[in-house]
Amino acid sequence: MSAHDVIKQSSRIAAILNEEGKKMKHKLGEILLEIIIIVFAITLSLLFERWRQNVEDRNLEHTFLQGLKADLGNDVNQLEAASAKWVQMENATRYFIKPESQINWSRDSVNYWGSRCFHNVYFFPSTNRYEALKSTGKITVIEDKRLQNDIVDLYQTKLPDLEQQLNFFNTFANSQVMAHLVNNLKRDENNNAILDKAFFTDMRMRNLFSFYGIDDILKRSESALAKSREILKEIDAIQ
């Protein structure tokens, strides 16, 4: 019921009160009827608006979760591939900080492990959909509270923690490690990098490897992957 209709009905009540020639008892009966009409109309309007809002919220929830499922599927694939490379880097750096007597210093072995030690590590999660919903204040359209909390936990805690550790590593690699490589990495007559025992037994290089922190990246990566897979299962369970 619109404000105009309420005013119209209120005017009818006033007109009944001011109407001459009718007994008050009769007037009260008519006024009561008008009040009942107003209350009924308002209640019906509120129920309809609640129903309309609920339909709108369910449509928004369905659209969001379907899009989020696609985003998370891509993120999981990307993060699994990235994690495999980070494991290689972690294994390679650990290989060269072992006691020298335990390292196979053959050219093939050194080249195999050495080529896996120096990479930036990247992961670019799809967060736009979540951020868009959060900015509208509509995150509560997700009716399943466990699912809602898991989504918030992933995008507000798990992924930011991982991105913070990745930023730390890339800053470290692009400054400290890069400076060491520029100043100490030798090249042959064909301009190929010489990765040999002398390079990897240099205490400065071993110290740099010990500060890589790939294990911290892998822990945060696995935490984000576990939460993402859990959310995907929860979405499938309700749709």
186 in Cβ contact with 194 (< 8 Å): yes
Owner of token pair 């992957």: 225
pTM: 0.78
Q: What angle do CA 191, 106, 88 make, to 5 degrees?
A: 80
Q: Model confidence at 52, in pLDDT bands (50, 70, 90)?
A: confident
Task: Report the C-alpha gap between 93 and 214 in whole angstroms.
Answer: 9
pLDDT beyond 60 at 104: yes
Per-residue pLDDT, 30? 64
Write the pLDDT tens digit of every residue in 60-102: 999 999 999 999 999 999 999 999 999 999 999 999 999 999 9
Structure tokens at 2: 């619109």
3-state secondary structure of 109: helix
Write the pLDDT tens digit of every residue in 189-224: 999 888 899 999 999 999 999 999 999 999 999 999
Q: Model confidence at 47, in pLDDT bands (50, 70, 90)?
A: confident
Task: Report the C-alpha gap between 224 and 111 in whole angstroms.
Answer: 32
